[in-house]
Structure 1
Amino acid sequence: MSGRDPLCPPRRARQGAALTLVFAGVLVAGAVTGAFPDPDHPARRTTTVPVGAVRKEDVREAAARAMADGTSPMEAAERAVSRSGDRWGAVYSEGEYQEFQDSLDGRYTGVGLSAAREQDGRIEVTGVRPGSPAAAAGIRTGDRLRSV
């Protein structure tokens, strides 16, 4: 007799059941390891106090205390930022901050030329910005630069 065996369940049903068990296993493993957020857990509650504002005041106070003691306010501010635990926090002098802002705005300090290394190892000028120090020095696209 040809056709499906009535005692053997279809293959798709077995695959569906297997995938369901795998998915349930992943959910149980996540719950057991604490991978899902628990809003009632004290370590996972979000604070309503802005952390950045508190840290900024701590840095200002550390710099002011150092200035009053006659030590470097920059070093004191850097120590306060490093103690805060914020790995992205940084302290800039006014000049460093201005350079940072200029780089974000697309303004860079340089001589005004682009260069590339050729296959033979020599460096060739690929572009010179008009009005730049390189243009004033007479450097042109295609010039070869000597290695120092």
Structure 2
Amino acid sequence: MPRQDEDEPPASLAVRLIVAAVAAGALVPAALGAAHSADAGAHFAIGYHHRPGRDVERMEYLGAEMARRIPAGTRVFVDEPDELWRFRMTELVTVHGLVLAVDTPGADLVLRRRSDASVPHGVALDIAPAAT
């Protein structure tokens, strides 16, 4: 904590304390961001060979299946319980020119991702007519 000189007015000390508090307040988020980046970098370096590449291959395969089997402009509902994969599949729907429906009655087709060791990349795209 800064010390006040005898000839220094009390307002100057208050300004110094405010500057020190602001600097400390800016340092905390920066340190948290740096810690998160270091953790993410270490995770990426250790686990890179396994999961990220496999997920990218699965996404590319599912996207190719959508493009091959569903005409552009078709209204689809993504029925996926996993939130990350729901996001990925809705992204693929948009990229491949399909229209994303918010519920089954507003869709022509329902898309589901299914694990299947017998197909390429271990994932299959199930396409079913939407219940009306």
With normalisation by structure 2, the TM-score equals: 0.33
Q: Comparing both chains, which one has the higher relative contact order based on Cα–Cα distances under 8 Å and sequence gaps of 6 or more?
A: 2
Question: Which has the larger helix fraction?
Answer: 2
- Tell me the TM-score normalized by structure 1: 0.31
